[in-house]
Structure 1
Amino acid sequence: MTSYRNADLRAPILRGKAPLGWRLPPHDWDRTPWNRWSFQNIRMCVPTEEIPRGPAALTWEEAPQDLSRIAFTGCDGKPMTLADLLADYADGFLVAHRGRILHESYHNGMTRGTRHLLMSVSKSIASTTAGILIDRGLLDPAAPMTEYLPELAATGWKGATLQQVLDMTTGVRFVEDYEDPDCDVARLEYASGWKPMPPGADPAQCPETTWAQILSLTDCEAPHGARFSYRSIETDLLGVLIARVSGQSFARTVSEVLWAPMGAEAEAYVTVDREGTPLADGGICASLRDCARFGQTMLDGGRAGGRQVIPGAWVEDVRGGDHGRFDDQSREFMPNGRYRNMFWIRDVARPVHISLGIYGQFIYVDPERELVVACLSSWPESISDMRHSNTIRAIDAIAAALS
């Protein structure tokens, strides 16, 4: 079955509630075309734990503008508008400038109250939660991971520091190929409770839980700190660490130190495995407005509602910390970019930072232009250079028009 664009007149799978007798393929529920439905209905797919909001949501000032005609050149050299981009596979798109919402639109059945799967945008939320715990003295980025999780002494993380985990510069071997059904990230889908055991897999090679998979990773392929390599398991380890030092679940900690204080308007939730361990690397689901609220809080130096929620030192470290590590694959789409504290740094010469997730999830923060853009999508491909480029081009055109 093929996927459908927002501009298509008739959708091959039902938008909204799944029809009676309709079943998602257990190994492919998060892939095209099923992701057009499942990304907005994760609680009908896998177990989750709630991330409660606080007693009062912060309100947004709204100043609606018609941005749909903003034009830019697509990566194929053809003219495009924001309306063209949204007619593709966007589920929600929000633009906030100088603290005011200028554009907010929903597509493919999504609404303001819908919680959408964030994929790896979750990493920035998890790392920022750790950043708050660092500020409170519960964590030290220079400390070895074994200081907090002694069990790691028998794994590849022996000798690695928390900062190296945050920057994904440990040397631990973890193969992350979304198209390979027999690599580490595919086994993580089983361990985390997302998928059944891969067909034909050796049960002895498939850990039952996320923590069991972490403990099974004993090989290093580089000295710690010597290279950057994007590996989602680093964030799942961070999720375990957050729960260990806080003395409560990852979800409860995110709620108490970040989600409620920043004034989220809706509960979020995170997928969990058979032991209740969260998929911190990509399992958080949240509303479009709350994604933008997180971005706005980062843009405002960590402040929300007149209070310091995210430490100012954390925000500054994301924007200007040690950006010395990157890899050739990442330079293909961010030539002068870096990765810091589980945020993508678009250009080391500017303070722009991006939270990115596969299938088209973005929180784009440009402090110089006082701009936040949140985009939630269900692309047909996990990674699309063309759609990524067109989204960034659209954001650049919006920034230019507003300035």
Structure 2
Amino acid sequence: MNQTRRPIWRIILRVLLVLLVVIGAAGVGGYLYLRNSEWWIAVTLFHNDHRAENFRTMHELFPSRRVAAGTDVWAFAHPVGQLTLPESYRFGGEARSLEGFLTESETTGLLVVRDGAIVHEWYADGYHEESVVTSFSMTKSVVSALVGIAIDDGYIQSVRDSITDYVPELRGSGYDGVSIHDVLTMSSGVAFSEDYESMFSDLMWLPIRVFGFQHPVTDVLAELEREREPGTYNNYISSDSIALGLLVSRATGSTGADYLSRTIWVPAGMEGDAWWNTDYHGNELGHAFLGATLRDYARFGRLYLNEGRRDERQIIPAEWVHASVNPTEPHLQPGENPDSFWTFGYGYQWW
């Protein structure tokens, strides 16, 4: 009896061993595949060990479009001398170390422009003056400028138009019938979780859906529902900015990157090409993922400082610049406001 059983158990053990080897090999292979896939990058996008590198190579890691610069560069004035920044500053009634703040906030670049001249320029973590630095919510303000220019160009008739007149993919969603004005001022009434602390919030899950699952961002927005009456409450949500990015491309019949190139990047004299991440279906992401050099971000800031002008040339309509930073409705006003999620006040994608 024992002699009969031994071969059977040996066969079973060998089969189990083979299965373990196969499962182990599959697991290792799957892990190696995952480590080299968009999935892994999307999941670890904000991880401390990868963040600095990811944020200067986003245009290489995921689909992106080039925002071409021209040859007529808007030069900075020659500074009289480099500005020495103070070692400390006061905040909340306390003296704080500037170096400590830069380290704690993991700042990778700091540029100071005064009277049209660069008076301080500093980089860390391998960044330098030619690094393409990914912007996040600052992209929202660039998209706002494009909306204003598109209105001035006649592609969009009015901020009172419904956004779904131009973006038909959003009909039937929470955005159906919402005015462009209410989307610009983060008052769409659409339900979207902007929780930065939860990996499962709509915002934090968005890169995984768009870059990992490769879902069209139009589908993501089309799923959203309305939670309150538009134009009554200021609630900061990135989906509004994504909708505005779609508005620019649909209204102009151009990609957002091309329209940005010919209306701002070239005429404003940016010195380097920018890159704008898209989903896998060619839609620019209007809430974030525009990459440019620190100096070109400073040039964009100078446009708003100069009421939309580069020297004497009007790039962004002056009235749009003014309206963007001067909200008029009660729910958009700064200070303690029961109809706003925060105290800063909000305009056209500008605090």
TM-score, scaled relative to structure 2: 0.81
1:236 is matched with 242
Instruction: Identify which range, 88-97 or 110-119, moves more after superposition.
Output: 88-97
Please report how far the alpha carbon of residue 298 of structure 1 lies from its aligned counterpart in structure 2 after TM superposition: 0.6
Please report how far the alpha carbon of residue 270 of structure 1 lies from its aligned counterpart in structure 2 after TM superposition: 0.9
Query: Residues of 2 paired with 1:108 and 1:210: CA distance?
Result: 32
Query: Residues of 2 paired with 1:252 and 1:115: CA distance?
Result: 18
Structure 2 gaps, min length 5? 1-34
Percent identical pairs in the alignment equals: 27
2:161 corresponds, among 143, 164, 168, to 143
Q: In the alignment, is the contact (CA less than 8 A) between 2:334 and 2:344 conserved in 1?
A: no
| 2:347 maps to 1:340 | yes
Q: 1:192 to 1:100 in 2, by over 3 A?
A: same
1:291 is matched with 297
The amino acid of 1:254's aligned partner reads L
Q: 1:328 to 1:293 in 2, by over 3 A?
A: closer
Q: In the alignment, is the contact (CA less than 8 A) between 1:263 and 1:305 conserved in 2?
A: no
Task: Give the aligned CA root-mean-square deviation in angstroms.
Answer: 2.5
2:182 is matched with 164
Q: Any idea what the Cα deviations from partners look like across 1:307-362, whole Å, max 9, x if unmatched?
A: 1001100111123232532599998xx97521111111xxxxxxxxxxxxxxxxxx
1:132 is matched with 149
1:89-108 matches, cutoff 5 A: 89-108=106-125
Please report how far the alpha carbon of residue 57 of structure 1 lies from its aligned counterpart in structure 2 after TM superposition: 1.2
Rg larger in structure: 2
1:254 corresponds, among 236, 254, 260, to 260
Q: Which runs of 4+ in 1 moved over 6 A?
A: 327-331
Larger fraction in helix? 2
The amino acid of 1:167's aligned partner reads T
How many residues align? The count is 308
Q: In the alignment, is the contact (CA less than 8 A) between 1:192 and 1:279 conserved in 2?
A: no
Structure 1 gaps, min length 5? 1-21, 198-206, 345-403
Larger fraction in strand? 1
1:321 is matched with 327
Q: Secondary structure at the match of 1:90?
A: coil
2:221 is matched with 214
Q: Secondary structure at the match of 1:72?
A: strand
TM-score, scaled relative to structure 1: 0.71
Q: Any idea what the Cα deviations from partners look like across 1:283-311, whole Å, max 9, x if unmatched?
A: 10110000010001110111114310011
Query: Residues of 2 paired with 1:135 and 1:330: CA distance?
Result: 34
Please report how far the alpha carbon of residue 146 of structure 1 lies from its aligned counterpart in structure 2 after TM superposition: 2.3
1:3-402 matches, cutoff 5 A: 25-26=40-41, 27-63=43-79, 64-69=81-86, 71-75=88-92, 77-80=94-97, 82-88=98-104, 89-139=106-156, 140-193=158-211, 196-197=212-213, 208-217=215-224, 219-322=225-328, 324-326=330-332, 337-344=344-351
Q: In the alignment, is the contact (CA less than 8 A) between 2:70 and 2:269 conserved in 1?
A: yes
Please report how far the alpha carbon of residue 183 of structure 1 lies from its aligned counterpart in structure 2 after TM superposition: 2.8
Q: Any idea what the Cα deviations from partners look like across 1:265-295, whole Å, max 9, x if unmatched?
A: 1011011111011112011011000001000
